[in-house]
């Protein structure tokens, strides 16, 4: 008993000593925290009226707080900075700050803070149209919110997920999420989320062409947004409502709403919203035949879009300009603006493709950082454990016998703990190596993909440009013009098919495609492909559909692409003759075959045509070129649906490509 009292007294003195020695640093942290809080409040007051000044205040507060180990406060300031960038439409910068917030939040192990960060990162990706990644982060936020029954966050995240599903065209799922968000927010009287939910439901009804319901929801949303003074939602609500009035040919009301939205966007200093609204006004003036008014607002839109490097709105502006010049009898100018429009479209498509690849790599990097942070946490915990053991040892040094017993127990447990930690660290090290190898493979896939884009798309696009140049500059007969138009159509369809194959191949490499089996009529699917291909080929080929009407259960989009690729392959190597699509049943499977009357396949081609490690492509009878991706995709899609594919020569000439599918 007496020994215990001695230990307690000594421990008390140790605590008092630590308290006195740490008093000065604690006082400094408290004073800095109070200063930073006051500066942050000033930033909050400036957020909507002067966003740039607000961010300067937040950075000032951050500089004060960064002198101390306060990860939660750091994370919250980064969140505010990211939100201001989002208000200004600078979503990449918003994402960078929210990712910094994520790093700090993970160090704090604050689940509720992580929930907010996940939601904000989802917002950044949603605003940048990276909807799949956005949905993933919203799902993480919803998981935490459900765990802690945070109804306001559950309502917010359901609203965000509804927005993403709407953007992905999954309207029924989007409607369920938005109605659920409205229901929960109504239960807890969260009027801001009610307003946002009504606003997005109105736009969803608009997309489904249910204009009366769209107007009803949007008007209710406008009333709530105005009464609650939700500044960031006003512009979107007014532009959505104007779209409804445009559909009802109430142009004057639509113009009034857009003018009001434009004034708010100017106050908010949001260039992206300004250029979008100006393009909407130009479209209305175009419908009203007010061409000078349309040109005036388009010039403003293009100027703002160029300053903010908004290629999407420049792309829209040039298309509207092309329609204006066409309607006012200036075909040359119309063609010039159309070329500018197409130039920006190619640029936007390339940016979107690179963004997809970059986002996937970013996700890998985020996962890698998550692992590194968890490893650092484990090491930090180990360090803290060691410190705690030393303190405990110092407190029991007053009693020799107790010290001896304590040290023996501590050494024993420490050995076990170290062995476990060493095993864990070794496992973590192996996982890091694995992640690095996967990242290297992804970089190789990206390089290969860009190489294909650079070499195989350049030729058809240049050919199209040359053909269009001839059509514009030269006088030609009606027969020559028809021939050029047919050539343009053929080149366009070939390029489109190549792009489809490239994108599907890229998604396969990143493992982003899943099989979605449904029941469909194989005869109708073959018929639709034959109709499309028959209209684009310039060869003397007769197409025959000998496939009977039969329901099969497979992924319709995958089988559609497989049939289209095999038909394109048959046309490529057939100068004249016939292409026959047939079907037969065998051992519980259906076998679909595409037979051509071309030159057939060599023994080398038959042996290697479906080799996964080789990319084979020969020139067609019309000098068509290819990448070899079509047959690789076809093989992959058929096998994912439980089938097999093979090729053989027809004894009467030509080749036959066949694949099997289970009936059920």
pLDDT tens, position by position, 605-620: 888 888 776 666 666 6
* Torsional sign, CA 215, 216, 221, 224: positive
Q: What is the mean pLDDT of residues 501-512?
A: 60
Output 540 or 488, whichever has higher pLDDT.
Answer: 540
Query: What does the pLDDT look like over 46-86, one tens digit per residue?
Result: 988 898 999 999 999 989 988 888 888 899 999 999 999 98
Query: What is the overall mean pLDDT for the chain?
Result: 82
Residue 214: per-residue pLDDT: 94
Whose CA is closest to 272, among 216, 334, 207, 316? 316
- The per-residue pLDDT for range 452-475, each reduced to its tens digit, is 555 455 555 655 666 666 666 665
Residue 112 reports pLDDT greater than 90? no
- The tens digit of pLDDT for each residue in 211-247 reads 999 999 999 999 999 999 887 789 999 999 999 999 9
DSSP state of 575: S
Q: What is the pLDDT of residue 444?
A: 59
Q: Please, what's the largest Cα pairwise distance for the chain?
A: 116
Round to whole Å and give the CA distance between 631 and 619: 15
CA–CA distance, 547 with 579 (Å, rounded to integer): 13
Is 505's pLDDT higher than 80? no
Long-range contacts of 436-441 (CB under 8 A, 24+ apart): 436/368, 438/364, 439/361, 439/364, 439/365, 439/368
Q: What is the pLDDT of residue 620?
A: 64
Predicted confidence band at 393 (pLDDT cuts at 50, 70, 90)? confident
HEC profile for 437-505? Answer: HHHHHHHHHHHHHHHHHHHHCHHHHHHHHHHHHHHHHCCCCHHHHHHHHHHHHHHHHHHHHHHHHHHHH
Q: How far is residue 338's CA from residue 262's CA, in Å, rounded to a whole number?
A: 27
Is the pLDDT at 355 greater than 60, yes or no? no
Average pLDDT of span 480-489: 65
Query: In the Cβ-directed half-sphere of 454, how many Cα atoms lie within 13 Å?
Result: 6
Mean pLDDT for 4-14 is 47
Residue 602: its H or E element: none
pLDDT reported for residue 371? 59
Q: What is the pLDDT of residues 254-295, one digit of tens each?
A: 999 999 999 999 988 888 889 999 999 999 999 999 999 999
State whether residue 657 is helix, strand or coil: strand
The pLDDT of residue 56: 93
Residue 361 has pLDDT above 60, yes or no: no
Q: How many Cβ atoms sit within 10 Å of the Cβ of residue 21?
A: 9
Q: Is residue 365 helix, strand or coil? A: helix
When pLDDT is cut at 50, 70 and 90, the band that residue 430 belongs to is confident
Could you give the angle at the alpha carbon of 482 between the alpha carbons of 480 and 485, nearest 5°?
110
Give the integer Cα–Cα distance in Å for 273 and 87.
11
Q: Judge whether residue 350 has pLDDT over 80.
A: no
d(CA 115, CA 146): 10
Q: How confident is the model at residue 187 (pLDDT cuts 50, 70, 90)?
A: very high
CA distance 616 to 608: 8
| Integer Cα distance of 180 and 661 in angstroms | 40
pLDDT at 358 (0 to 100): 57
Q: How many CB atoms lie within 10 A of CB 8?
A: 11
Give the per-residue pLDDT at 406: 76
CA count, 13 A, side-chain hemisphere, 413: 10
Calculate mean pLDDT across residues 121-142: 90
- Mean pLDDT along residues 549-569: 91
- pLDDT value at residue 492: 66
pLDDT of residue 413: 84
């Amino acid at each position: 008993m007496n020994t215990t009292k001695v230990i307690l007294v000594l421990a008390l003195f140790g605590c008092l000593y630590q308290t006195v020695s740490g008093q000065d640093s604690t006082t400094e942290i408290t004073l800095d925290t109070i200063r930073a809080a006051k500066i942050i409040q000033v930033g909050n007051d400036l957020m909507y009226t002067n966003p740039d000044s607000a961010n300067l205040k937040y950075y000032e507060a951050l500089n004060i707080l960064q002198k101390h180990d306060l990860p939660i406060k750091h994370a919250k300031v980064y969140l505010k900075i990211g939100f201001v960038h989002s208000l200004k439409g600078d979503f990449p910068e918003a994402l960078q700050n929210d990712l910094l917030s994520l790093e700090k939040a993970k160090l704090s192990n604050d689940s509720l803070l992580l929930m907010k960060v996940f939601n904000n990162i989802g917002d950044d990706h949603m605003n940048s149209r990276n909807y799949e990644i956005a949905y993933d982060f919203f799902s993480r936020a919803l998981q935490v919110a459900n765990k802690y029954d945070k109804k306001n966050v559950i309502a917010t995240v359901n609203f965000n997920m509804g927005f993403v599903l709407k953007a992905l065209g999954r309207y029924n799922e989007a409607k369920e999420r938005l109605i659920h968000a409205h229901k929960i927010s109504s239960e807890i009287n969260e009027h801001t989320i009610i307003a946002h939910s009504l606003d997005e439901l109105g736009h969803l009804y608009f997309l489904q062409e249910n204009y009366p319901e769209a107007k009803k929801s949007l008007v209710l949303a406008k009333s709530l947004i105005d009464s609650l003074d939700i500044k960031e939602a006003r512009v979107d609500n007014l532009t959505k409502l104007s779209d409804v009035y445009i559909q009802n040919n109430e142009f004057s009301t639509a113009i009034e709403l857009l003018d009001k939205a434009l004034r708010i966007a100017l106050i908010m200093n949001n260039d992206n919203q300004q250029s979008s609204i100006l393009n909407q006004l130009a479209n209305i003036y175009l419908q009203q035949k007010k061409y000078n008014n349309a040109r005036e607002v388009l010039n403003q839109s293009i100027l703002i879009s160029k300053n903010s490097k908004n290629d999407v709105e420049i792309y829209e502006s040039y298309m509207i300009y092309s329609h204006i010049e066409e309607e006012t009898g200036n075909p040359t100018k119309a063609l010039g603006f159309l070329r500018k429009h197409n130039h920006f479209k190619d640029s936007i498509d390339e940016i979107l493709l690179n963004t997809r690849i970059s986002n996937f790599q970013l996700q890998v990097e985020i996962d890698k950082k998550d692992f590194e942070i968890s490893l650092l946490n484990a090491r930090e915990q180990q360090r803290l454990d060691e410190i705690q053991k030393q303190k405990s040892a110092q407190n029991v040094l007053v009693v020799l016998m107790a010290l001896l017993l304590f040290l023996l127990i501590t050494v024993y447990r420490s050995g076990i703990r170290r062995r476990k930690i060493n095993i864990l660290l070794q496992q973590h090290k192996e996982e890091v190596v694995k992640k690095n190898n996967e990242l290297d493979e992804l970089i190789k896939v990206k390089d290969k993909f860009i190489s294909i884009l650079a070499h195989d798309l350049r030729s058809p696009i240049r050919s199209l440009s040359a053909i269009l140049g001839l059509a514009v500059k030269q006088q030609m007969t009606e027969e020559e013009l028809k021939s050029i138009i047919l050539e343009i159509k053929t080149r366009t369809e070939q390029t489109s098919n190549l792009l489809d194959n490239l994108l599907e191949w890229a998604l396969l490499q990143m493992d982003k495609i899943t099989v979605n089996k449904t029941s469909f009529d194989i005869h109708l699917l073959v018929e639709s492909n034959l109709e499309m291909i028959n209209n684009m080929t310039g060869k003397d080929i007769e197409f025959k559909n000998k496939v009977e009407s039969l329901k099969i259960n497979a992924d319709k989009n995958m089988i559609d692409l497989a049939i289209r690729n095999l038909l394109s392959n048959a046309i490529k190597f057939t100068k004249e003759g016939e292409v026959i699509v047939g079907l037969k049943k065998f051992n519980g499977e259906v076998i679909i075959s595409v037979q051509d009357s071309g030159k057939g396949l060599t023994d080398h081609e038959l042996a290697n045509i479906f080799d996964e490690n080789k990319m084979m492509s020969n020139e067609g009878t019309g000098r068509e070129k290819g990448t070899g991706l079509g047959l690789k995709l076809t093989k992959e899609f058929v096998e994912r649906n439980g089938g097999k594919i093979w090729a053989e020569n027809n004894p009467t000439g030509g080749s036959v490509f066949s694949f099997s599918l289970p009936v059920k």
